[in-house]
Amino acid sequence: MENATTTTACTDAQLRRLSALLDTVLPASTDGTLPSAREIDFTAYLSEQAPEFQEELIGILERFDDNFPDLAISRRVDLVRVFSSSDAPAFRRLVFRIYDSYYQSDRVRTAIGARPGPPFPNGHSIPSGDLSSLEAVKARGKGYRR
């Protein structure tokens, strides 16, 4: 785990449910190259970047029982799917926050081939590309009307 930060807004039981929810929405990849979302410090992300979402998150966590973390992933997926069907906007907001946290992670970005950090100021280098076939395009002659 990158960090074990917790938020004072959540109870221990809610944090257990959150951890399971993160693992359900984004489990680790089967080849082991990508971590589960539970391994990313989601609560620190919330505190720093989306504090306004914390209250809604607690409400979402209350939709799940205390035994949710103990269920097999297939059962957890079923329950999350029920939630997504019953309140699609809230589910979308939750997933957005999980994805945002996950895909900002340096570890994740490195694993997917995206450089960590913001694009500016380093930018990217891309090849000019081969323009040689444009000679054939030009050879077709004028293609506009007046």
CA distance 134 to 131: 6
**Exposed, middle or buried by CB within 10 Å (0-12, 13-18, 19+), for 9?**
middle
Considering the complex, state which of residue 4 and residue 144 has its C-beta at the smaller distance from another protein.
Answer: 144
Applying CB under 8 A, the span of 1-9, 10-18, 58-66, 137-145 interacting with another protein comes to 137-145
The CA distance from 141 to 78, in Å, is 60
Whose Cβ is closer to another protein: residue 82's or residue 96's?
Answer: 96
89 binds another protein (CB under 8 A): no
Tokens 């504090």 appear where? Answer: 51
**Interacting residue ranges for another protein, rule: CB under 8 A:** 24-27, 29-30, 34, 49, 73, 77, 80, 92, 95-96, 99-100, 103-104, 108-109, 112-114, 117-131, 133-134, 136-138, 140-146
